[in-house]
């Protein structure tokens, strides 16, 4: 995508990002990535690997480096197309960290203290409750606001962060006049919250110690089958949505998100059948959805020169676009423009 495309065509602008966590899960895929891929024709999309966010927890350098490049290759394999979309690595575009600092100064301590993800993570990593973990939503707000994004496709767990980005933007605009577009969240109708296969009261997350609770996009077919077969359900043996059927609801959501079938269609399909058949069908649908991604991934990850060419080219354009917003915000605050 060239820099001018964003100016000429005036499609709504989308921004989203994902952390290079080492394992991209089915939750990430159904909650966010699948949407990203399908929005590329109708919108001007900008996506990033959020490596700056990832250092809010300690990273081992060699592994971190691998995780970043693997996440980049995996997203290309999912269908992110750099001919249509800007897709870069966050730390390559220095405006993100700069605007994040500025937004820190327009965000209240109390607001960030209320973020449930901060409360959760600081309880889980008591040995490293760092300031970055606390200020994380300001960096996320900077990511979004730099590109004047209209929409932000994310899973439901990011809703609170997105609302904070809007609040901060609105506050800044209130003080200095219109500077940032107020972004809206874009959540998939099904799949916005994929739950753990072992404890369906919790979201599917690779930080869960029990590896059977999550499916990775790159998991082998036999592992995917095994994890679904062990998924927690209930003793009712009826495939239908229900208040006390969190495990089944989750599997139905996954199946619906992958196949496009409605809840009613799924209920009809499995009428009179047990959970064994149902779990096998869900696993098979997921395996088929992920198979071509795994195959394409092997090709991308083997071609480091191609990956470098793509992320370098995209970062250059992203820098130009985002610098316009950063300059505008800095000028309004009263900074003197330097020569750089």
**Which DSSP symbol is given to 68?**
H
Query: What is the distance between the alpha carbons of residues 292 and 137, in angstroms, rounded to a whole number?
Result: 34
Q: Which of 150, 157, 163, 316 binds ligand TYM (CB under 6 A)?
A: 157
Q: Which of 148, 158, 233, 325 binds ligand TYM (CB under 6 A)?
A: 158
Query: What is the distance between the alpha carbons of residues 168 and 180, in angstroms, rounded to a whole number?
Result: 10
Residue 121 known to be catalytic: yes
The minimum distance between CB 163 and ligand TYM, in angstroms, equals 12
Q: Which of 1, 13, 14, 32 binds ligand TYM (CB under 6 A)?
A: 32
- Of 151, 162, 139, the closest CA to residue 44 belongs to 151
The minimum distance between CB 322 and ligand TYM, in angstroms, equals 13
Residue 203 known to be catalytic: yes
The minimum distance between CB 14 and ligand TYM, in angstroms, equals 10
Q: Which of 1, 6, 19, 213 binds ligand TYM (CB under 6 A)?
A: 19
Alpha-carbon Rg for the chain, nearest whole angstrom, is 21
The minimum distance between CB 320 and ligand TYM, in angstroms, equals 19
The minimum distance between CB 338 and ligand TYM, in angstroms, equals 27
- Binding-site size for ligand TYM (CB under 6 A) equals 24
- Using left for φ > 0, alpha for ψ between -120 and 50, and beta otherwise, residue 339 falls in beta
Query: What is the distance between the alpha carbons of residues 32 and 36, in angstroms, rounded to a whole number?
Result: 6
- Mark the segment that binds ligand TYM (CB under 6 A) among 151-159, 225-233, 280-288, 293-301: 151-159
The minimum distance between CB 110 and ligand TYM, in angstroms, equals 20
With binding defined as CB under 6 A, does residue 28 bind ligand TYM? yes
With binding defined as CB under 6 A, does residue 34 bind ligand TYM? no
Contact partners, residue 208, CB within 8 Å, separation at least 6: 196, 198, 202, 214
Query: What is the distance between the alpha carbons of residues 340 and 331, in angstroms, rounded to a whole number?
Result: 15
Query: What is the distance between the alpha carbons of residues 141 and 163, in angstroms, rounded to a whole number?
Result: 9
Structure tokens at 156: 């439901």
Phi, psi of 45 (to 5 degrees): -100, 140
Instruction: Specify whether the CB–CB gap between 96 and 90 falls below 8 A.
Output: yes
Catalytic-labelled residue, pool 34, 121, 227, 279:
121
With binding defined as CB under 6 A, does residue 203 bind ligand TYM? yes
With binding defined as CB under 6 A, does residue 18 bind ligand TYM? yes
- Mark the segment that binds ligand TYM (CB under 6 A) among 15-23, 124-132, 231-239, 255-263: 15-23
Query: What is the distance between the alpha carbons of residues 217 and 291, in angstroms, rounded to a whole number?
Result: 9
Q: Is 179 helix (H, G, I), strand (E, B) or coil?
A: coil
With binding defined as CB under 6 A, does residue 227 bind ligand TYM? no
Catalytic-labelled residue, pool 11, 84, 159, 206:
206
Residue 160's CB is within 10 A of a number of other CB atoms, namely: 14
Structure tokens at 136: 């994380």
- Mark the segment that binds ligand TYM (CB under 6 A) among 3-11, 13-21, 103-111, 288-296: 13-21
With binding defined as CB under 6 A, does residue 204 bind ligand TYM? yes
Question: Which helix (H) or strand (E) element contains residue 186?
Answer: strand 184-186
Residue 11 or 206 having the CB closest to ligand TYM: 206
With binding defined as CB under 6 A, does residue 155 bind ligand TYM? yes
The footprint of ligand TYM (CB under 6 A) covers 15-19, 27-28, 31-32, 50, 53, 140, 143-144, 152, 154-155, 157-158, 192-194, 203-204
- Positions marked catalytic: 121, 203, 206
């Amino acid at each position: 995508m060239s820099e001018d495309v964003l100016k000429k065509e005036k499609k709504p602008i989308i921004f989203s990002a994902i952390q290079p966590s080492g394992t991209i899960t089915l939750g990430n895929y159904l909650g966010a990535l699948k949407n990203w891929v399908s929005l590329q024709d109708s919108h001007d999309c900008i996506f990033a690997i959020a490596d700056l966010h990832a250092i809010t927890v300690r990273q081992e350098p060699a592994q971190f480096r691998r995780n970043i490049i693997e996440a980049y290759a995996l997203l290309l394999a999912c269908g992110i197309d750099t001919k249509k979309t800007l897709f870069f690595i966050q730390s390559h575009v220095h405006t993100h960290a700069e605007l994040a600092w500025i937004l820190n100064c327009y965000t209240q301590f109390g607001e960030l203290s209320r973020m449930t993800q901060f409360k959760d993570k600081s309880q889980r990593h008591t040995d490293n409750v760092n300031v970055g973990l606390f200020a994380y939503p300001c960096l996320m707000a900077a990511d979004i606001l730099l590109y004047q994004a209209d929409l932000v496709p994310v899973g439901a767990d990011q809703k609170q962060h997105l609302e904070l980005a809007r609040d901060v933007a609105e506050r800044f605009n209130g003080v200095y006049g219109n500077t940032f577009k107020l972004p809206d969240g874009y959540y998939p109708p099904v799949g916005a919250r994929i739950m753990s296969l072992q404890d369906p009261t919790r979201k599917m997350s690779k930080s869960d110690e029990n590896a059977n609770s999550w499916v990775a996009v790159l998991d082998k077919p036999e592992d995917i089958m095994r994890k679904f077969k062990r998924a927690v359900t209930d003793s009712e043996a009826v495939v239908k949505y229900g208040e006390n059927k969190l495990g089944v609801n989750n599997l139905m959501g996954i199946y619906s998100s992958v196949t496009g079938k409605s809840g009613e269609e799924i209920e009809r399909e499995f009428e009179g059948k047990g959970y064994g058949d149902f779990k096998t069908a869900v696993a098979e649908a997921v395996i088929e959805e992920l198979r071509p991604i795994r195959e394409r991934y092997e090709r991308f990850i083997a071609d480091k020169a191609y990956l470098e060419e793509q992320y370098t080219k995209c970062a250059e354009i992203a820098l130009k676009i985002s610098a316009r917003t950063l300059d505008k915000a800095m000028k309004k605050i009263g900074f003197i423009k330097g020569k750089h």
